[in-house]
Amino acid sequence: MSVLHHALLGLLAREPRTGYQLSKVMVRQVAYFWSANHSQIYPALHRLETAGQISSTAYDGPGPRDTKVFTITAAGRDALRAWLVRPTEIGADRDEFVVRVFSLWLLDRTDAVHLVEEHRALHAARLATYRSIRSELGEPADPGDPQFAQRATLEAGLSYQQHRISWCDWLLERLRAQE
């Protein structure tokens, strides 16, 4: 079972949802650090159901097919807990922009500055979004509460955007130093 499967279990552990509802959440990211399309989600749900980690009840829905609401089973909860405590690895290499910066010496100063400024602006915008979400969520709840976990992932996003912005500033400072 992949990260996607566990992201879905993590959502269903909070409340039952349909595949459509799950995909609406996941297209715009769960936990600010994972996304998926509906075309990936429907097969993943079928696999989870076959494995007995979720169950579904079908209602008469619009369109040619039934609407299915998925619920996590006790086995699903156990599998999710087991996945959580597996030994961690670091992962999360893969950042296209850093690969670009690796070849930044090929550009002249103006182009380089422009590139980094553009990138900084994207992260600044994202940070602003996250800050407004934070002001809605308020201070973190008790660690046993799903709200706490939600708030913690937001904090990861906030911290990440800030790191990105200050790295861009580090770069810009040096790119703009004496011609």
In the region spanning residues 57 to 116, those forming contacts with DNA, defined by CB under 7 A, are 61-68, 94
Least spacing, CB of residue 170 vs DNA, in Å:
26
Site string for its own copies, 157-176 (x = CB under 8 A): --xx-xx--xx--xx--xx-
Residues in binding contact with its own copies, number by CB under 8 A? 72
Residue 57 vs 159, nearer CB to its own copies = 159
Q: Which two tokens stand for residue 61?
A: 């829905």
Query: Cα separation of 30 and 44, whole Å?
Result: 16
SS3 83: helix
Least spacing, CB of residue 9 vs its own copies, in Å:
8
18 beta partners: 69
What interhelical angle do 38-50 and 3-12 show, nearest 10? 80
Site string for its own copies, 57-96 (x = CB under 8 A): --------------------x--xx-xxx-xxxxxxxxxx
Are the C-beta atoms of residues 59 and 69 closer than 8 Å to each other?
yes
Residue 2 vs 129, nearer CB to DNA = 2
* Furthest-apart CA atoms within the chain: distance in Å: 69
24 belongs to the binding site for its own copies (CB under 8 A): no
Least spacing, CB of residue 178 vs DNA, in Å:
38
Of 13, 29, 40, 149, the one binding DNA by CB under 7 A: 40
- Sole residue written with tokens 């552990």: 13
Q: Tell me whether strands 54-59 and 67-72 are parallel, antiparallel or unpaired.
A: antiparallel
